[in-house]
Structure 1
Amino acid sequence: MKISYNWLKQFIQTDKTPQELSLILTDIGLEVEHVDKVQPIVGGLEGLLIGKVMSCVQHPNADRLRVTTVDVGGPELLQIVCGAPNVAEGQKVVVATVGTTVYPNEGEPFKINKSKIRGEVSEGMLCAEDEIGLGGSHAGIMVLDDSTQIGIAAKDHFQMEDDYVFEIGLTPNRADAASHLGVARDLAAYFRSSVQMPEVEAFQVSDESLSIPVRVTDETACPRYSSVTISGVTVKPSPDWLQDRLKVIGIRPINNIVDITNYVLHDLGQPLHAFDADQIKGGVIVQKCAEGTPFITLDGVERKLSAEDLMICDEAGPMTIAGVYGGKNSGVTEQTTNIFLESAYFNAVSVRKTAKRHGLKTDSSFRYERGTDPEITVYALKRAALLIQELAGGTISSQVGDLYPISINPFDVEVSYENIQSLIGVQIPETQIKEIIEALGMRVTAETEGGLTLQVPAYKVDVTRECDVTEEVLRIYGYNNIPIPTKVNASLSYGVKPGREFTQHVIADMLTANGFLEIWCNSLTKAAYSKNEDEAVRILNPLSADLNVMRQSLLMPALESVAYNQNRKRPDLKFYEFGKTYHLINAQYVERPRLLVLISGNLETEQWNQKPRAVSFYHLKATVDAVMSRLGLGTYQVAEVADENFAYGLKYFRGDKAIVTFGAATAKDLKTADVDKAVFYADFDWALLMDMVKKNKIVNKDIPKYPAVRRDLSMYVDLAVTFEDLKGIAFKTEKKLIKNIQVFDVYMGDKIPEGKKSYALSFTLQDEQQTLTDKQIDAVMQKIISNLAQTAKAEIRK
């Protein structure tokens, strides 16, 4: 977005240089990418002075040349040889002195040097219009009015003021700053000054000879529609000042009417459209047309309208695409004498969809898509009407029509001084916070000891919450005013944070320390990845077909990362991601925090002294158990997975809630993501984990003084019996003395009874109060053997 320095100074008084102002704008959130100096004409008349011809005589050696002496306000007269037929004594002229570079309309620029012309010294040049870019005439030198002051710079005489253009990288949320007024408001807040708005009190209706009725059929897409008519205008080129204003920001002048609408757009941020009133049949109707209605736009292209496109129509049919683009026959021409002027507030989503649907991007749609000010439509209308009267003549021939059935109210926001200070990280005085808030145009409607209740203007479309107000305060307070600690630790570390963030950092540190890499995948993904179509959260204006829904699982985007790495010869992968999944459930949008842990390829890099080992389900299980242990979640149930998202696996759960489900990715998912190696992943319900962590109670115990003992049992069990079954039976038999149970051998095959498998388990027993005797140990083991035999039909091998 381009903003003119001189134009800006019409709204706000400042003695800051363009360079100083560019730094301030960047500091308050309007990043200035570069500043360009712009001159009204090439060269900007630099080095040219106003002089007076004191004498003019025939050149002794050339019939068509004159030798003049010229006073340019210096201590001595300049002798200048001139070939213009109209040069004469006493004239006030434009003089290019020695050292000046002249920029003619045609040809290359050239520098004026002291020289001899046919034997006579010449110390400059008397200039014609076309030689300095002020016109096209070359019939003779420019002769100025007798009252012109000599010795002054030509640029001052012709009021040629250099301008500077700020190229601002406007972020999508800053719709309020998409104009010179918007930028001026931010600067006024920074300087604690006021914005000087152009006067519109001179607006006066002459008669009501041209009243055009307006009807709005879709008040959601068009909440406000303001209009007025002007009769008897003359369409012609705009004056130089208006053309210069537009040219400096890259807008091509067309005619005075169109130029005024463009001027007000960039001045106030309010798009306008001028119709030829004589071409409107009956009245104006703001409505949606039938699907497939043909419509020819200003560029001569016939487009098929959607039933969702809001159109400005008359009784004969559509005239313009509301807020986006004009129709071929709706614009102003040289024959236009009567104007119908529109100033409306259109729904941002409606305009954005229409502009995207037809592939049209205009200065108007740019602003409507982001949100304009619903309260400025009438003011902008009057501002434009007065300019049209001034530059095109005519009279205002109708009352201002303003259809605004349902007012768009300011945003009500409550803020706490403590929360603002906490989020910013600096104890800004409460009086200063309030001062900044009011300087930004937010009105304080109530005040308590700890905070404020605010009304935020509707044009600040991105300020609807306390955190948004905090960001506004910080912008004006200054990011550069937030101190950087003088003492910085040599190593990076996380500060202690309560709750979710701290716990997340703990697990992230643990996984990273075990060789995992954190990935961040896009929450937008393909509709083909959605396992439940009914829960799919679809994007209304997708950037592409591959980014048209919100992800329902962290797996598929992560598999894309796996494929990307595998295709680049990096097959050994250990990833984790903290992210959210998105679901539409009972007409409500639901976000679910998740943790994904994923492994694929080999466990270690191939070495001379060891062969590579492919990762397996059990390597993943070890990581899952480590996460559960690190979070202090030792008690949970285990079951096999019956889930279409896994080829096989386990889940840990409490009650009816799954804490984590983990196992092998299905062949279908691997094929969809173009992954050619086995992938094992775990899907943690992070929100449930956080709730469980909050309930944890940490108990400190002394390290036992008495030794632990180990006993092993080997047994036959049915194929359906799991280690978890056996483990549960053993702990149920003896809760106090058994500290740990491990399976160290599983065998199925020769010499094993049909339908059976062999398990070898180790039991660690310990009494924290005394040394266990063989008698105590044998008694415990006999109970375990008995219960295993009764409950799991286990047959102990001798």
Structure 2
Amino acid sequence: MKISYKWLKDLIELNESPAEIDRLLTGTGLEVEGIEEIESIKGGLQGVVIGEVLTREKHPEADRLSLTTVDVGGETPLSIVCGAPNVAAGQKVIVATVGATLYPTGSDQPLVLKKSKIRGALSEGMICAEDELGVGTSHDGILVLDTDLPNGTPAAEYFGISSDYLIEIGLTPNRADAASHYGVARDLKAVLKREITLPSIEAFKTDNQNLPIPVEVRNTEACPRYTGLTISGITVTESPEWLKQRLQTIGIRAINNIVDITNYVCHELGQPMHAFDADKVLGKKVIVTTVAEGTPFVTLDGIERKISANDLMICSEGVDGNPEPMCIAGVFGGLTSGVTETTTSIFLESAYFSPVWVRRTAQRFALKTDSSFRFERGTDPNMPLFALKRAALLIQKVAGGSISSDIIDLYPEPIADFKVNIKNRNIDRLIGKSLEKDLIKSILESLDIQVTDETETGFTAIVPPYRVDVQREADVIEEILRIYGFGQVELSDALSSDYISDFPVNDPEKLKLRVSELLVGNGFNEMINNSLTKPEYQAILGESLAGTPVKILNYLSEDLSVMRQTLLFSGLEVIAYNSNRRQKDLKVFEFGKTYHEIDGKFIEKERLSVFVTGNITQESWFEKSREVVFHDLAAFVNQVLTSMKIRDVQKQEADSAVFKSGLTLLANKKPVVSFGLLNAAVAKKLDIKAPVYYADFDWEYLLRQYNAAVEYAEVPKFPEVRRDLSVVLNKKVTFEELRQAAFKTERSLLRAVNVFDVYEGANLEGKKSYSISFILQDEQQTLTDKVIDKTMQRLIATYEREFEAVIRK
């Protein structure tokens, strides 16, 4: 459940920081799983300013690009290459300067602006479109402003950016009372001993009786309480900024001012509500009842569902007097009765529905909505009337209109408070500490639980019906303990505990065996080498080795006088020994320690080395022999990393002192493995002439990062789509650069990027051709050709802009 820090402060005075609120709520049982600063525009548009286009010329090397100079309030104008068709001199625009970080709409990865050359022209920033700024979805052209603000004014000032903190609570199923800002504020009230200030409804009044809509509840078991009223003369439009920002902070998409208010009150007070277009209430009467088995009903998502006789429905009277379904009560609205931009009057509903009925219906239709989430756990039966008045006043504030009927409040059998008998000795026994009676009473009353019938041995607790989880003596005692504080109960000297669950500890030897078996299964042999080695090996790699060699005081020979700083040379000695005996096709590995003296301290490190040389496949009647190449080693490296559950890695060039060509893979910015083709000069020192491919793993880091937990993901329901591109690029452009650029451009739909063909020939001097496949998939729906084509056009534009790529048709 998501809570806004600012919204909480509207209900209760808070001087505490979000981090302190985290500690307090978690202590009461509302575990905070995360706190995130939310800005109305992500990133706050730091480094983004208002500018003015001074000049615009056509790019000499690209028809769709323009060369512009832009005044951003600095000493000299910026030169910017722009691909937008609508850019023109004299425009006021939004400019992202070099170093600015943008969070484009629909993208999970930030875009960092760098000074670059595009088709040979210098570009010192970017003139932005709506989606590039994250303020909208349009990418048809740059955003042109109508403003008198001076050039260089921060864009944050123009857009009026505000910030808030999102507090995410892992709400347990029993705490339905806390499924709102008001509910969370109630726990803070008890802990901080402060009062809650609910929004005032004193201004509520009925304006006229122009639109009475009577209500008949035919099933009071499923609907114990139903309230409603009508509002006429409203204007349905986009919500004001304050309302949209409140909802967006907690992840709710703004729809229109009427629907947004019902969502707002739901998350503020925990009371789900629904607004019907009054003109679509047939017969101008609302009937709460069940309908015939199999009755078809189209819900808001456009899907026709067959209603069961056990589903409570909100109906209109219908033209023939038979109930006409408008809404699945407490679960989902209907397609035809909802509020639209043409709605001018509404019937506003606020009710208490039976948790059993709502839960049964929600499970039958597999519908989980904000409304059903609350109703099926149990809402406050005393809240509908207050919430109705609150919502009506807010609707008048944002949409105008008049309250055109008296409030209907059908509540034939009020739900009583829970009465729980409490014995003092059980409080002491279950808490493990004797508390003062006045303290116990103060805690319970701060939770709206009244204490009556007090005696020397106990009392009766009167629990409000919104606390559906507090109906037993142990429940009331738990309430006392969670507010008093679990941490304030001292531990006994004789305390003991046991666990049913098994908590496995990573066994380094088992993991080492696991990787060893993986490599052996791929045709490798394991080496066990001496940790003593020759001191001259230090000079070969020099500063590439960490620290200085650890010298042996009483060494037996000069060749065994220092501890090894790397597994490289002991492995090369094995390769040299076998090669001299005509065993040239080798795949070997070693788990071993290296030793270093760093700043006077002696350090041991556990490493894994892998060597491959000669032919990767042996000659046979159906297959020719083939020499090992870089990608053979890369495949083995990837298998080891996958086995150790290392997936997300970054790449950089490996140490040139060790490798002629190679990569270093990093996880969390920590080098995990370096691998590639060994420098011939290094191999030659041991009289090895054949190419040697070598990988050096940080085994200690792999052990620390390994997580034995099983990870799984649901099988996607919607198919993936493949699209191919053939691009001509500069030889220096790597596939990794293309892959990263693709994922920066499209983060939500792109699943994989692969190069399946590379061509370099005399007719492509200084260039190369890549054939690249892109796998696209949407987990929520089937991709349409329009979405796919738009995505591919964005990828093409990125490659053309950033790499001067030529797309081969």
Q: Into which bin does the TM-score normalised by the smaller protein fall?
A: 0.5 to 0.7
> Measured at CA, do residues 302 and 11 of structure 1 come closer, stay the same or move farther in structure 2, by a change above 3 Å?
same
In our comparison, the structure showing a higher alpha carbon Rg is 1
Confirm whether residue 29 of structure 1 aligns to residue 29 of structure 2. yes
Q: Does 1:340 align with 2:338?
A: no
> What's 1:47 paired with?
46
Could you tell me how far 1:471 is from its partner in structure 2?
A: 0.7
Shift of 1:170: 2.1
So what's the TM-score if we normalise by structure 1?
Answer: 0.53
Q: Flag the 1:313–1:427 CA change in 2: closer, same or farther, 3 A.
A: same
| Partner SS state of residue 10, structure 2 | coil
- After superposition, the C-alpha distances for 1:435-489 in whole angstroms (9 at most, x for unaligned) are 2212212234555566554432211112223322211111112222222235667
**Which residue is 1:258 aligned to?**
259
Q: Which residue of 2 aligns with 1:234?
A: 235
TM alignment of 1:572-587, pairs within 5 A: none
SS at match of 1:10: helix
More displaced, 320-329 or 117-126? 117-126
Aligned length: 483
Change (3 A) 1:304 1:113: closer
Q: Take 2:446 and 2:470, find their aligned partners in 1: how far apart are those partners?
A: 15
Give the secondary-structure state (helix, strand or coil) at the position aligned to 2:279.
helix
Determine if contact 2:420/2:471 at 8 Å carries over to the other structure.
yes
User: Deviation at 1:3?
Assistant: 2.8
- RMSD (CA atoms): 4.0
- Give how far 1:236 is off: 3.0
Whether 2:304 is the aligned partner of 1:301: answer yes
Matched-pair contact (CA < 8 Å) for 1:130–1:138: no
Task: Describe the SS at the equivalent of 1:306.
Answer: coil
Is the 1:260–1:384 contact (alpha carbons within 8 Å) kept by the matching residues of 2?
yes
Shift of 1:377: 0.5
Measure the CA separation in 2 of the matches of 1:359 and 1:127.
Answer: 42
Deviation, structure 1 residue 369: 1.6
Q: How far does residue 425 in structure 1 lie from its aligned partner after superposition?
A: 0.6
Residue number among 420, 426, 448 corresponding to 1:441 in the alignment: 448
Q: Could you say if the C-alpha distance between residues 117 and 67 of structure 1 is closer, same or farther in structure 2, counting changes exceeding 3 Å?
A: farther
One-letter code aligned to 2:161:
M
Alignment correspondent of 2:601: none
Equivalent residue number for residue 213 of structure 1: 214
Provide the residue aligned with 1:225 in structure 2. Answer: 226
Partner of 2:464: 457
CA contact (8 A) 1:286 1:312 kept: yes
1:7 maps to 2:2: no
CA deviation vs aligned residue, 1:698-753 (integer Å, no higher than 9, x gap): xxxxxxxxxxxxxxxxxxxxxxxxxxxxxxxxxxxxxxxxxxxxxxxxxxxxxxxx
Helix, strand or coil for the counterpart of 1:229? strand
Distance across 1 between alignment mates of 2:426 and 2:341: 59
Question: What is the CA-CA distance between 1:148 and the residue it aligns to?
Answer: 7.7
1:178 alignment partner in structure 2: 179
User: Residues 22-52 of structure 1, C-alpha deviation per residue, up to 9 Å, x if partnerless?
Assistant: 33322211223344554434x4334235568
Question: 1:264 and 1:429 mapped to 2: Cα distance?
Answer: 39
What does residue 643 of structure 1 align with?
none
One-letter amino acid matched to 1:4: S
1:275 is matched with 276
Identity score, percent: 48
Distance 1:69-1:337 versus aligned 2 partners, 3 A rule: closer
Evaluate the alpha carbon distance shift between residue 87 and residue 478 of structure 1 in structure 2; reply closer, same or farther with a 3 A threshold. Answer: farther
Per-residue deviation, residues 47-66 of structure 1 (Å, max 9, x unmatched): 2355688x97999x999866
Question: What is the TM-score with the length of structure 2 in the denominator?
Answer: 0.52
Asked if structure 1 preserves the Cα contact closer than 8 Å seen for 2:79 and 2:122, the reply is yes
C-alpha separation between the residues in 1 aligned to 2:454 and 2:401? 50
Distance 1:462 1:334 in 2: 41
- Determine if contact 1:50/1:92 at 8 Å carries over to the other structure: no
* CA distance, structure 2, for counterparts of residue 219 and residue 133 of structure 1: 48
Structure 2 gap ranges (5+): 500-809
Cα offset for 1:184?
1.9
- Asked if 1 retains the 8 angstrom alpha-carbon contact of 2:193 and 2:446, the reply is yes
Note the 1:570-719 alignment, pairs <5 A: none
Alpha-carbon distance between aligned partners in 1 of 2:103 and 2:308, rounded to the nearest angstrom: 50
- Per-residue CA deviations over 1:211-256 (Å, capped at 9, x if unaligned) read 1111223333222111000112233333344344334434343333
CA distance in 2, matches of 1:157, 1:24: 37
The aligned residue for residue 165 of structure 1 is 166
Q: Post-superposition shift, 1:145? A: 4.6
Summarize the Cα distance change of 1:362–1:124 in structure 2 as closer, same or farther, 3 Å threshold: closer
1:169-199 deviation line (CA, Å, top 9, x unaligned): 3222211111222122112222222223222
How far apart, in 2, do the equivalents of 1:11 and 1:267 lie? 9
User: What does residue 680 of structure 1 align with?
Assistant: none
Deviations 1:316-351 (A, max 9, x none): 423223222333433223332221111111222232
1:99 alignment partner in structure 2: 99
**Contact 2:43/2:102 (8 A) holds in 1:** no
| Residues 127 and 142 in structure 2, CA contact (< 8 A), matched pair in contact too | no
Alignment-mate amino acid for residue 44 of structure 1: G
Q: Deviations over 1:619-654 (max 9, x none)?
A: xxxxxxxxxxxxxxxxxxxxxxxxxxxxxxxxxxxx
Q: Counterpart of 2:78? A: 80
Q: Deviations over 1:659-708 (max 9, x none)?
A: xxxxxxxxxxxxxxxxxxxxxxxxxxxxxxxxxxxxxxxxxxxxxxxxxx
Distance 2:215 2:30 in 1: 38
CA drift at 1:290 = 5.4
Query: Deviation digits for residues 235-291 of structure 1, max 9, x if unmatched?
Result: 333334434433443434333322222222222111112112122233445444455
For the Cα contact (< 8 Å) 1:211–1:398, is it kept in 2?
yes
Who is 2:797 aligned against?
none
Q: Which moved more, 1:160-169 or 1:194-203?
A: 160-169
Q: How far apart are the structure 1 equivalents of 2:286 and 2:101?
A: 58
Judged with a 3 Å threshold, the aligned counterparts in structure 2 of structure 1 residues 12 and 243 are, in CA distance, closer, same or farther, namely: same
> Could you tell me which amino acid in structure 2 is paired with residue 262 of structure 1?
N
**Distance across 1 between alignment mates of 2:226 and 2:408:** 8
Aligned 8 A contact 1:218 1:286 in 2: no
In 2, Cα distance between equivalents of 1:310 and 1:98: 58
In 2: Cα distance, 1:294 partner to 1:492 partner: 54
Matched ranges for 1:461-476 at <5 A: 461-476=468-483
- Partners of 2:56 and 2:235 in 1: how far apart? 49
User: Quick one: distance in 2 between partners of 1:148 and 1:439?
Assistant: 54
Q: Does 1:412 pair with 2:416? A: no
Matched with 1:555 is: none
1:426–1:358 CA distance, 2 compared to 1 (3 A): same
Shift of the 365–134 alpha-carbon distance from structure 1 to 2, 3 Å rule, reads: closer
323, 336, 339: which is aligned to 1:317? 323
Change (3 A) 1:264 1:148: farther
Structure 1 portions without partners, runs of 5+: 494-798
1:408-431 Cα deviation digits (max 9, x unpaired): 232233434443233201233333
The answer to whether the 8 Å contact 1:295/1:318 transfers is no
**Cα shift readout 1:732-785 (whole Å, capped 9, x = no counterpart):** xxxxxxxxxxxxxxxxxxxxxxxxxxxxxxxxxxxxxxxxxxxxxxxxxxxxxx
The question of whether the paired residues in 1 share the 8 Å contact of 2:265 and 2:387 is answered with yes
Structure 2 contact 227–351 (Cα < 8 Å) conserved: yes
What residue in structure 1 maps to residue 430 of structure 2?
423
Q: Which letter does structure 1 place at the counterpart of 2:385?
A: V
User: Aligned runs of 1:138-149 on 2, under 5 Å?
Assistant: 143=145, 145-146=147-148
**Residue of structure 2 equivalent to 1:569:** none
User: 2:232 touches 2:344 (CA, 8 Å); kept in 1?
Assistant: yes
Amino acid at match of 2:33: E
Q: Specify the code of the residue in structure 2 equivalent to 1:398.
A: S
Q: Is the 8 A contact 1:312 1:322 kept in 2?
A: no
Counterpart secondary structure, 2:376: helix
1:506 aligned partner: none
When residues 16 and 48 of structure 1 are mapped into structure 2, their CA distance, relative to the original with a 3 A threshold, is farther
Counterpart code for 2:133: I
Q: Is the 8 A contact 1:221 1:310 kept in 2?
A: no
Could you tell which deviates more after superposition, 101-110 or 458-467?
Answer: 101-110
Deviation for aligned residue 1:128 = 5.9
5 Å-filtered alignment, 1:723-742, equals none
